[in-house]
Amino acid sequence: MIIVMETRDKKDIDRVVAKIEEFGYKAHIIWGVERTVIGAVGDERTKGRLLSLESLPGVEKVVPILKPFKLAGRELISEDSVFRVGDAQIGGDRLFIVAGPCSVENREQILETARIVKDGGGTALRGGAYKPRTSPYSFQGLEEEGLHLLQEAREATGLPIVTEVLTPDQVGLVEEHADILQIGARNMQNYALLKAVGKTSKPIVLKRGMMSTINELLMSAEYVMSEGNKQVILCERGIRTFETETRNTLDLSAVPVLKKLSHLPVMVDPSHGTGHWDLVIPMAKAAVAAGADGLMVEVHPRPEEAYSDGAQSLKPARFRQMIEELKPLMSIVGKTLQEIP
């Protein structure tokens, strides 16, 4: 339910919040420019009790939320959400470009790549310290050592760090080192993990599962947000279809659909979406044209030596080319490139 207030008086708002919590719901206050609304989220079987809140002083009306994703949807929050991480902005009129290797392999590699990303115009550095791999015999990441190397790369360049967390027990450690936590496609419906990152204060990149619907992605975002963390970034990274020419099928229609249904920022990962380096730049441009707020691309100084995903990684010159080719599109869609000091 949405409780629309006709006043911004704190006593009236506190009275409504107290009643919502008495009924066993969680209250989420949204301070709008023109009015204040309070979302009441909880067990829908007793939502009829919330209708009585219309009788309280300062309440204009009580409106049911029709979509199942209460906090992620636009019924409660109509304005696009914008998050900040240090000097970087996620959402709004700035394009957020996350780039880096699939895996943190060693100190030399991650520091070199961080400088490439920074000099090329990237906004944040990605790199996997913990790697969920299809084969148990594949490189699984440097784990905690990788986190320390990512932290060193941030200190050297000023770039915020994005890295994946795999299990609830890793959340605290990864949160200490990273600026943004990533939930990978395989873990999109790992509800214990979603609840754990929902208790953190760091933004969350939530990747769409390879066989998940848009509705399921938004419901996973709801798990995170219901625990208190509202800083969720939705990421389209391709879904599994019958097509074999690409690693996945990059569903760019998801971008405008998500922007229609949700106020959360939307990113696109054309590297995993295609699996081929020569397709990354065309699909990155298409993603920006479709309205994406950000991109996540894999960059490696020597892809032929990469421990993982070398075939879909851009070399430094290609990364710089992508940024240059994106600039005209950015001006058309009303976005600008961010500069990290």
List pLDDT tens digits, range 164-204: 999 999 999 999 999 999 999 999 999 999 999 999 999 99
pLDDT (average), residues 256-277 = 98
Tens digits of per-residue pLDDT, 23-36?
Answer: 999 998 988 777 79
Q: Which fold has domain 2-63?
A: Alpha-Beta Plaits (3.30.70)
pLDDT in the model for residue 157: 97
Q: Which fold has domain 83-337?
A: TIM Barrel (3.20.20)
CB distance 64 to 1 below 8 Å: yes
Q: Return the domain boundaries, the chain.
A: 2-63, 83-337
Euclidean distance between CA atoms 294 and 84, whole angstroms: 13
User: Cα dihedral sign for 274, 278, 279, 281?
Assistant: positive
pLDDT in the model for residue 136: 76
The burial of 296, by beta-carbon neighbours within 10 Å (0-12 exposed, 13-18 middle, 19 or more buried), is given as buried
Residue 252's Cβ-side half-sphere holds a number of Cα atoms within 13 Å equal to: 15
Q: Shortest CA distance to 98 belongs to which of 80, 125, 74?
A: 125
CA 143 to chain CA centroid, Å, is: 22
pLDDT (average), residues 227-249 = 97
Q: Check whether 296 has a pLDDT greater than 80.
A: yes
Euclidean distance between CA atoms 123 and 219, whole angstroms: 28
pTM over 0.85: yes
Angstrom CA distances, 17 to 21, 36, 41, stand at: 6, 12, 12
